[in-house]
Structure 1
Protein backbone atom coordinates (compact mmCIF):
# COMPACT_ATOMS: atom_id res chain seq x y z
CA UNK A 1 0.00 0.00 0.00
CA UNK A 2 1.29 3.43 -0.94
CA UNK A 3 0.70 6.90 0.44
CA UNK A 4 -1.46 7.72 -2.58
CA UNK A 5 -3.83 4.88 -1.61
CA UNK A 6 -4.75 6.26 1.81
CA UNK A 7 -4.04 10.01 1.74
CA UNK A 8 -6.71 12.70 1.67
CA UNK A 9 -6.61 14.26 -1.79
CA UNK A 10 -7.09 17.94 -2.62
CA UNK A 11 -6.59 19.11 0.99
CA UNK A 12 -8.17 22.37 2.09
CA UNK A 13 -5.62 25.18 2.27
CA UNK A 14 -5.48 28.68 3.70
CA UNK A 15 -3.34 31.75 3.05
CA UNK A 16 -0.66 32.95 5.45
CA UNK A 17 -2.77 36.06 6.11
CA UNK A 18 -5.65 34.04 7.57
CA UNK A 19 -6.41 35.13 11.16
CA UNK A 20 -5.62 32.48 13.78
CA UNK A 21 -9.15 32.44 15.15
CA UNK A 22 -10.54 31.94 11.65
CA UNK A 23 -8.18 29.01 11.06
CA UNK A 24 -9.23 27.42 14.37
CA UNK A 25 -12.89 27.85 13.49
CA UNK A 26 -12.30 26.21 10.10
CA UNK A 27 -10.54 23.26 11.74
CA UNK A 28 -13.39 22.84 14.21
CA UNK A 29 -16.04 23.02 11.49
CA UNK A 30 -14.25 20.56 9.18
CA UNK A 31 -13.05 18.30 12.05
CA UNK A 32 -9.41 18.46 10.98
CA UNK A 33 -6.25 19.24 12.93
CA UNK A 34 -3.96 20.76 10.33
CA UNK A 35 -4.11 23.15 7.39
CA UNK A 36 -1.54 23.58 4.62
CA UNK A 37 -0.66 27.20 3.88
CA UNK A 38 -0.21 28.28 0.28
CA UNK A 39 0.76 31.50 -1.48
CA UNK A 40 -0.30 31.84 -5.11
CA UNK A 41 -0.69 28.08 -5.32
CA UNK A 42 2.74 27.37 -3.83
CA UNK A 43 3.12 25.56 -0.52
CA UNK A 44 4.77 27.82 2.06
CA UNK A 45 3.94 26.17 5.37
CA UNK A 46 1.70 24.14 7.64
CA UNK A 47 -0.22 25.04 10.76
CA UNK A 48 -1.69 22.59 13.26
CA UNK A 49 -4.43 22.90 15.84
CA UNK A 50 -1.95 22.32 18.65
CA UNK A 51 0.25 25.20 17.52
CA UNK A 52 -2.69 27.56 17.23
CA UNK A 53 -4.03 26.64 20.66
CA UNK A 54 -0.67 27.43 22.25
CA UNK A 55 -0.63 30.93 20.77
CA UNK A 56 -1.97 32.69 23.86
CA UNK A 57 -0.51 35.40 26.07
CA UNK A 58 1.43 34.40 29.17
CA UNK A 59 -0.64 33.75 32.33
CA UNK A 60 1.39 36.54 33.94
CA UNK A 61 0.18 39.10 31.42
CA UNK A 62 -1.60 42.22 32.65
CA UNK A 63 -3.79 42.33 29.56
CA UNK A 64 -7.54 42.04 30.02
CA UNK A 65 -9.53 39.29 28.31
CA UNK A 66 -10.79 41.84 25.83
CA UNK A 67 -7.27 42.99 25.00
CA UNK A 68 -6.09 39.41 24.57
CA UNK A 69 -8.99 38.57 22.25
CA UNK A 70 -8.26 41.70 20.26
CA UNK A 71 -4.62 40.69 19.84
CA UNK A 72 -5.63 37.19 18.74
CA UNK A 73 -7.95 38.59 16.09
CA UNK A 74 -4.99 40.50 14.67
CA UNK A 75 -2.58 37.54 14.62
CA UNK A 76 -2.35 35.54 11.39
CA UNK A 77 -1.21 31.98 10.77
CA UNK A 78 1.85 33.17 8.88
CA UNK A 79 3.32 34.24 12.23
CA UNK A 80 3.19 30.75 13.74
CA UNK A 81 3.22 28.38 10.77
CA UNK A 82 5.84 25.67 10.27
CA UNK A 83 7.94 26.75 7.32
CA UNK A 84 9.30 24.08 4.96
CA UNK A 85 7.20 21.29 6.50
CA UNK A 86 8.29 17.69 6.07
CA UNK A 87 6.67 16.18 2.99
CA UNK A 88 6.38 12.77 1.34
CA UNK A 89 5.88 11.57 -2.24
CA UNK A 90 2.59 9.81 -3.14
CA UNK A 91 4.56 6.76 -4.36
CA UNK A 92 6.20 6.25 -0.95
CA UNK A 93 4.99 3.23 1.01
CA UNK A 94 2.75 3.61 4.04
CA UNK A 95 5.45 2.12 6.27
CA UNK A 96 7.97 4.68 4.99
CA UNK A 97 5.52 7.47 5.84
CA UNK A 98 4.93 5.98 9.29
CA UNK A 99 8.69 5.84 9.96
CA UNK A 100 9.23 9.45 8.87
CA UNK A 101 6.37 10.66 11.06
CA UNK A 102 7.61 8.63 14.03
CA UNK A 103 11.20 9.80 13.69
CA UNK A 104 10.16 13.43 13.42
CA UNK A 105 7.38 13.18 16.05
CA UNK A 106 4.74 14.69 13.77
CA UNK A 107 1.08 13.76 13.33
CA UNK A 108 0.72 14.43 9.62
CA UNK A 109 2.64 15.01 6.39
CA UNK A 110 1.84 16.89 3.24
CA UNK A 111 2.06 14.85 0.04
CA UNK A 112 3.94 16.54 -2.80
CA UNK A 113 4.42 15.51 -6.42
CA UNK A 114 6.50 17.69 -8.77
CA UNK A 115 6.24 20.65 -6.36
CA UNK A 116 2.45 20.33 -6.31
CA UNK A 117 0.43 19.70 -3.16
CA UNK A 118 -1.66 16.62 -3.96
CA UNK A 119 -2.72 15.39 -0.53
CA UNK A 120 -2.16 15.02 3.18
CA UNK A 121 -1.60 11.86 5.22
CA UNK A 122 -2.25 11.70 8.96
CA UNK A 123 -1.72 9.25 11.81
CA UNK A 124 -5.36 8.25 11.48
CA UNK A 125 -4.85 7.41 7.80
CA UNK A 126 -1.90 5.19 8.70
CA UNK A 127 -3.86 3.48 11.51
CA UNK A 128 -6.66 2.78 9.02
CA UNK A 129 -4.13 1.36 6.54
CA UNK A 130 -2.72 -1.08 9.08
CA UNK A 131 -6.23 -2.09 10.13
CA UNK A 132 -6.91 -2.87 6.47
CA UNK A 133 -3.65 -4.87 6.27
CA UNK A 134 -5.10 -7.32 8.76
CA UNK A 135 -8.73 -7.18 7.61
CA UNK A 136 -9.70 -6.55 11.23
CA UNK A 137 -13.14 -5.38 10.20
CA UNK A 138 -13.91 -8.88 8.86
CA UNK A 139 -14.63 -11.85 11.11
CA UNK A 140 -11.75 -14.24 11.54
CA UNK A 141 -9.08 -15.58 13.91
CA UNK A 142 -5.76 -14.08 14.98
CA UNK A 143 -3.03 -16.64 15.65
CA UNK A 144 0.39 -16.01 17.15
CA UNK A 145 2.81 -18.80 16.23
CA UNK A 146 6.35 -19.42 17.43
CA UNK A 147 8.63 -20.35 14.55
CA UNK A 148 12.36 -20.61 14.02
CA UNK A 149 13.67 -18.08 11.52
CA UNK A 150 14.69 -20.30 8.65
CA UNK A 151 14.30 -20.57 4.91
CA UNK A 152 10.94 -22.08 3.94
CA UNK A 153 9.20 -21.48 7.30
CA UNK A 154 6.52 -19.24 5.80
CA UNK A 155 6.03 -21.54 2.81
CA UNK A 156 5.51 -24.49 5.16
CA UNK A 157 2.97 -22.54 7.21
CA UNK A 158 0.98 -21.30 4.23
CA UNK A 159 0.89 -24.82 2.78
CA UNK A 160 -0.62 -26.17 6.00
CA UNK A 161 -3.27 -23.45 6.05
CA UNK A 162 -4.03 -23.97 2.35
CA UNK A 163 -4.52 -27.71 2.89
CA UNK A 164 -7.08 -26.85 5.57
CA UNK A 165 -8.95 -24.79 2.94
CA UNK A 166 -8.54 -21.61 4.99
CA UNK A 167 -7.71 -18.19 3.60
CA UNK A 168 -4.90 -16.03 5.03
CA UNK A 169 -5.97 -12.40 5.46
CA UNK A 170 -2.85 -10.96 7.03
CA UNK A 171 0.62 -11.99 8.16
CA UNK A 172 3.41 -10.18 9.98
CA UNK A 173 6.69 -11.23 11.60
CA UNK A 174 7.72 -10.11 15.10
CA UNK A 175 11.36 -10.98 15.72
CA UNK A 176 12.23 -12.23 19.20
CA UNK A 177 15.57 -13.35 20.67
CA UNK A 178 18.12 -15.36 18.66
CA UNK A 179 16.48 -17.16 15.71
CA UNK A 180 12.96 -17.29 17.17
CA UNK A 181 10.14 -15.23 15.62
CA UNK A 182 6.49 -14.81 16.46
CA UNK A 183 4.39 -14.96 13.35
CA UNK A 184 1.05 -13.18 13.65
CA UNK A 185 -1.43 -14.65 11.17
CA UNK A 186 -5.03 -13.59 10.64
CA UNK A 187 -7.13 -16.27 8.95
CA UNK A 188 -10.70 -16.31 7.66
CA UNK A 189 -12.10 -19.09 9.84
CA UNK A 190 -13.98 -18.50 13.11
CA UNK A 191 -13.57 -22.18 14.02
CA UNK A 192 -9.79 -22.42 14.47
CA UNK A 193 -9.58 -25.58 16.60
CA UNK A 194 -8.76 -28.01 13.74
CA UNK A 195 -6.11 -25.64 12.38
CA UNK A 196 -4.56 -25.15 15.82
CA UNK A 197 -4.35 -28.92 16.35
CA UNK A 198 -2.77 -29.41 12.92
CA UNK A 199 -0.18 -26.68 13.49
CA UNK A 200 0.82 -28.05 16.87
CA UNK A 201 1.00 -31.59 15.50
CA UNK A 202 3.49 -30.24 12.94
CA UNK A 203 5.65 -28.78 15.69
CA UNK A 204 4.42 -25.19 15.39
CA UNK A 205 3.43 -23.90 18.86
CA UNK A 206 0.36 -21.65 18.95
CA UNK A 207 1.10 -18.90 21.50
CA UNK A 208 -2.26 -17.18 21.16
CA UNK A 209 -5.58 -17.76 19.41
CA UNK A 210 -8.22 -15.02 19.36
CA UNK A 211 -11.51 -15.09 17.45
CA UNK A 212 -12.76 -11.66 16.44
Structure 2
Protein backbone atom coordinates (compact mmCIF):
# COMPACT_ATOMS: atom_id res chain seq x y z
CA UNK A 1 0.00 0.00 0.00
CA UNK A 2 1.35 3.38 -1.04
CA UNK A 3 0.77 6.90 0.25
CA UNK A 4 -1.27 7.76 -2.86
CA UNK A 5 -3.72 4.98 -1.93
CA UNK A 6 -4.61 6.61 1.40
CA UNK A 7 -3.85 10.30 1.11
CA UNK A 8 -6.57 12.97 1.04
CA UNK A 9 -6.57 14.37 -2.48
CA UNK A 10 -8.90 17.34 -1.92
CA UNK A 11 -6.32 19.43 -0.13
CA UNK A 12 -7.26 22.86 1.20
CA UNK A 13 -4.33 25.15 0.50
CA UNK A 14 -3.74 28.79 1.38
CA UNK A 15 -1.34 31.51 0.29
CA UNK A 16 1.17 33.32 2.47
CA UNK A 17 -1.11 36.39 2.49
CA UNK A 18 -4.05 34.50 3.99
CA UNK A 19 -4.95 35.99 7.35
CA UNK A 20 -4.89 33.98 10.55
CA UNK A 21 -8.65 34.44 10.97
CA UNK A 22 -9.28 33.12 7.46
CA UNK A 23 -6.98 30.14 8.04
CA UNK A 24 -8.84 29.32 11.24
CA UNK A 25 -12.18 29.54 9.43
CA UNK A 26 -10.97 27.20 6.68
CA UNK A 27 -9.75 24.65 9.19
CA UNK A 28 -13.10 24.61 11.00
CA UNK A 29 -15.18 24.46 7.81
CA UNK A 30 -13.12 21.64 6.28
CA UNK A 31 -12.42 19.83 9.57
CA UNK A 32 -8.65 19.79 9.06
CA UNK A 33 -5.82 20.65 11.43
CA UNK A 34 -3.16 21.72 8.95
CA UNK A 35 -3.01 23.83 5.79
CA UNK A 36 -0.19 23.81 3.23
CA UNK A 37 0.92 27.31 2.26
CA UNK A 38 1.44 27.61 -1.50
CA UNK A 39 2.64 30.60 -3.52
CA UNK A 40 2.92 30.36 -7.30
CA UNK A 41 2.24 26.61 -7.21
CA UNK A 42 5.17 26.02 -4.86
CA UNK A 43 4.91 24.79 -1.28
CA UNK A 44 6.58 27.34 0.98
CA UNK A 45 5.22 26.42 4.40
CA UNK A 46 2.55 24.79 6.53
CA UNK A 47 0.24 26.09 9.23
CA UNK A 48 -1.25 23.86 11.92
CA UNK A 49 -4.09 24.41 14.34
CA UNK A 50 -1.55 24.65 17.17
CA UNK A 51 0.23 27.43 15.29
CA UNK A 52 -3.01 29.38 15.24
CA UNK A 53 -3.58 28.86 18.96
CA UNK A 54 -0.08 30.06 19.76
CA UNK A 55 -0.59 33.15 17.59
CA UNK A 56 -3.65 34.26 19.51
CA UNK A 57 -3.01 36.72 22.34
CA UNK A 58 -3.05 35.46 25.90
CA UNK A 59 -6.32 35.55 27.85
CA UNK A 60 -4.54 37.87 30.25
CA UNK A 61 -4.36 40.59 27.58
CA UNK A 62 -6.13 43.90 28.18
CA UNK A 63 -7.17 44.15 24.55
CA UNK A 64 -10.89 44.15 23.84
CA UNK A 65 -12.54 41.50 21.65
CA UNK A 66 -12.79 44.04 18.84
CA UNK A 67 -9.10 44.87 19.14
CA UNK A 68 -8.18 41.17 19.17
CA UNK A 69 -10.23 40.49 16.06
CA UNK A 70 -8.72 43.47 14.31
CA UNK A 71 -5.20 42.37 15.25
CA UNK A 72 -5.70 38.83 13.95
CA UNK A 73 -7.34 40.11 10.77
CA UNK A 74 -4.13 41.97 9.98
CA UNK A 75 -1.76 39.08 10.66
CA UNK A 76 -0.89 36.81 7.75
CA UNK A 77 0.02 33.14 8.05
CA UNK A 78 3.47 33.99 6.69
CA UNK A 79 4.23 35.34 10.17
CA UNK A 80 3.54 32.04 11.96
CA UNK A 81 3.91 29.25 9.37
CA UNK A 82 6.58 26.57 9.57
CA UNK A 83 8.89 27.14 6.63
CA UNK A 84 10.90 23.92 6.87
CA UNK A 85 8.19 21.57 5.65
CA UNK A 86 8.67 17.82 5.74
CA UNK A 87 7.05 16.33 2.66
CA UNK A 88 6.62 12.90 1.14
CA UNK A 89 6.12 11.55 -2.38
CA UNK A 90 2.93 9.69 -3.38
CA UNK A 91 4.68 6.46 -4.36
CA UNK A 92 6.30 5.93 -0.94
CA UNK A 93 5.04 2.94 1.13
CA UNK A 94 2.50 3.95 3.77
CA UNK A 95 4.66 2.55 6.58
CA UNK A 96 7.50 4.84 5.52
CA UNK A 97 5.15 7.79 5.98
CA UNK A 98 4.32 6.55 9.48
CA UNK A 99 8.02 6.29 10.31
CA UNK A 100 8.74 9.81 9.04
CA UNK A 101 5.86 11.20 11.14
CA UNK A 102 7.12 9.39 14.22
CA UNK A 103 10.73 10.51 13.82
CA UNK A 104 9.77 14.13 13.22
CA UNK A 105 6.86 14.19 15.67
CA UNK A 106 4.36 15.57 13.17
CA UNK A 107 0.74 14.60 12.65
CA UNK A 108 0.61 15.01 8.88
CA UNK A 109 2.69 15.34 5.74
CA UNK A 110 2.00 17.21 2.50
CA UNK A 111 2.30 14.84 -0.44
CA UNK A 112 4.31 16.50 -3.18
CA UNK A 113 4.86 15.44 -6.78
CA UNK A 114 7.69 17.48 -8.28
CA UNK A 115 6.79 20.85 -6.68
CA UNK A 116 3.00 20.49 -6.64
CA UNK A 117 0.97 19.52 -3.56
CA UNK A 118 -1.21 16.56 -4.61
CA UNK A 119 -2.43 15.36 -1.23
CA UNK A 120 -2.11 15.14 2.54
CA UNK A 121 -1.41 12.03 4.61
CA UNK A 122 -2.22 12.25 8.32
CA UNK A 123 -1.99 10.16 11.47
CA UNK A 124 -5.72 9.42 11.11
CA UNK A 125 -5.04 7.85 7.70
CA UNK A 126 -2.27 5.74 9.24
CA UNK A 127 -4.61 4.68 12.06
CA UNK A 128 -7.23 3.58 9.52
CA UNK A 129 -4.62 1.46 7.75
CA UNK A 130 -3.64 -0.16 11.06
CA UNK A 131 -7.25 -1.06 11.82
CA UNK A 132 -7.67 -2.52 8.33
CA UNK A 133 -4.37 -4.40 8.40
CA UNK A 134 -5.19 -6.07 11.70
CA UNK A 135 -8.65 -7.00 10.41
CA UNK A 136 -10.38 -5.52 13.46
CA UNK A 137 -13.70 -5.04 11.65
CA UNK A 138 -13.70 -8.56 10.21
CA UNK A 139 -14.51 -10.31 13.48
CA UNK A 140 -13.31 -13.85 14.13
CA UNK A 141 -10.68 -14.82 16.68
CA UNK A 142 -7.45 -12.96 17.36
CA UNK A 143 -4.55 -15.09 18.56
CA UNK A 144 -1.13 -13.84 19.68
CA UNK A 145 1.75 -16.29 19.35
CA UNK A 146 5.36 -16.16 20.55
CA UNK A 147 7.83 -17.60 18.07
CA UNK A 148 11.61 -17.88 17.73
CA UNK A 149 13.12 -15.30 15.38
CA UNK A 150 14.15 -17.70 12.64
CA UNK A 151 13.12 -18.69 9.09
CA UNK A 152 10.09 -20.91 8.56
CA UNK A 153 8.14 -19.99 11.69
CA UNK A 154 5.33 -18.18 9.90
CA UNK A 155 5.01 -21.08 7.48
CA UNK A 156 4.60 -23.38 10.47
CA UNK A 157 1.78 -21.23 11.84
CA UNK A 158 -0.14 -20.92 8.57
CA UNK A 159 0.35 -24.62 7.90
CA UNK A 160 -1.39 -25.53 11.15
CA UNK A 161 -4.30 -23.20 10.46
CA UNK A 162 -4.73 -24.59 6.95
CA UNK A 163 -5.25 -28.09 8.39
CA UNK A 164 -8.53 -26.87 9.88
CA UNK A 165 -9.72 -25.31 6.61
CA UNK A 166 -10.07 -21.91 8.32
CA UNK A 167 -9.50 -18.63 6.51
CA UNK A 168 -6.80 -16.28 7.81
CA UNK A 169 -8.32 -12.78 7.92
CA UNK A 170 -5.11 -10.94 8.84
CA UNK A 171 -1.59 -11.58 10.05
CA UNK A 172 0.91 -9.16 11.54
CA UNK A 173 4.18 -9.46 13.45
CA UNK A 174 5.91 -7.31 16.04
CA UNK A 175 8.78 -7.54 18.48
CA UNK A 176 9.72 -6.40 21.96
CA UNK A 177 13.12 -4.75 22.36
CA UNK A 178 13.83 -6.68 25.54
CA UNK A 179 13.34 -9.98 23.68
CA UNK A 180 15.25 -9.64 20.38
CA UNK A 181 15.29 -13.41 19.76
CA UNK A 182 11.51 -13.66 19.72
CA UNK A 183 8.87 -12.56 17.25
CA UNK A 184 5.22 -12.08 18.19
CA UNK A 185 2.60 -12.97 15.62
CA UNK A 186 -0.96 -11.67 15.74
CA UNK A 187 -3.20 -13.81 13.57
CA UNK A 188 -6.94 -13.36 13.06
CA UNK A 189 -8.89 -16.38 11.88
CA UNK A 190 -12.45 -16.61 10.59
CA UNK A 191 -13.86 -18.83 13.30
CA UNK A 192 -14.96 -18.75 16.92
CA UNK A 193 -14.28 -22.45 17.32
CA UNK A 194 -10.62 -21.81 18.06
CA UNK A 195 -9.86 -24.39 20.78
CA UNK A 196 -8.72 -27.19 18.42
CA UNK A 197 -6.37 -24.76 16.63
CA UNK A 198 -4.92 -23.58 19.94
CA UNK A 199 -4.28 -27.18 20.97
CA UNK A 200 -2.56 -27.82 17.63
CA UNK A 201 -0.29 -24.80 18.16
CA UNK A 202 0.67 -26.00 21.62
CA UNK A 203 1.24 -29.55 20.39
CA UNK A 204 3.72 -28.17 17.85
CA UNK A 205 5.60 -26.26 20.55
CA UNK A 206 4.19 -22.83 19.71
CA UNK A 207 3.55 -20.57 22.69
CA UNK A 208 0.08 -19.03 22.73
CA UNK A 209 0.20 -15.70 24.58
CA UNK A 210 -3.34 -14.38 24.16
CA UNK A 211 -6.70 -15.22 22.61
CA UNK A 212 -9.48 -12.74 22.00
CA UNK A 213 -12.80 -13.51 20.35
CA UNK A 214 -14.68 -10.65 18.68
CA UNK A 215 -17.93 -10.00 20.47
CA UNK A 216 -21.13 -10.50 18.51
CA UNK A 217 -22.97 -7.19 18.06
CA UNK A 218 -26.38 -7.12 19.69
CA UNK A 219 -29.06 -7.64 17.11
CA UNK A 220 -26.61 -9.12 14.59
Q: Is the 8 A contact 1:139 1:190 kept in 2?
A: no
Q: Is the 8 A contact 2:166 2:191 kept in 1?
A: yes
Match of 1:210 among 195, 198, 212: 212
Distance 1:33 1:178, change over 3 A: closer
Secondary structure of residue in 2 paired with 1:128: helix
Q: Does 1:12 align with 2:12?
A: yes
Distance in 2, matches of 1:62 and 1:36, equals 33
In the other structure, the counterpart of 1:76 is 76
RMSD of aligned alpha carbons: 1.5
In the other structure, the counterpart of 1:46 is 46
Deviation (angstroms), 1:60? 5.1
Q: Is the 8 A contact 2:149 2:181 kept in 1?
A: yes
In the other structure, the counterpart of 2:218 is none
- Note the residue ranges of structure 1 that are not aligned, 5 or more in a row: none
In the other structure, the counterpart of 2:174 is 174
Deviation (angstroms), 1:24? 0.7
- Note the residue ranges of structure 2 that are not aligned, 5 or more in a row: 215-220
Using structure 1 for the length normalisation, give the TM-score.
Answer: 0.94
Match of 2:198 among 196, 201, 204: 196
Report which stretch shifted further, 49-58 or 100-109.
49-58
User: How does 1:60-99 map onto structure 2 within 5 Å?
Assistant: 61-99=61-99
Distance in 1, matches of 2:63 and 2:213, equals 59
Using structure 2 for the length normalisation, give the TM-score.
Answer: 0.90
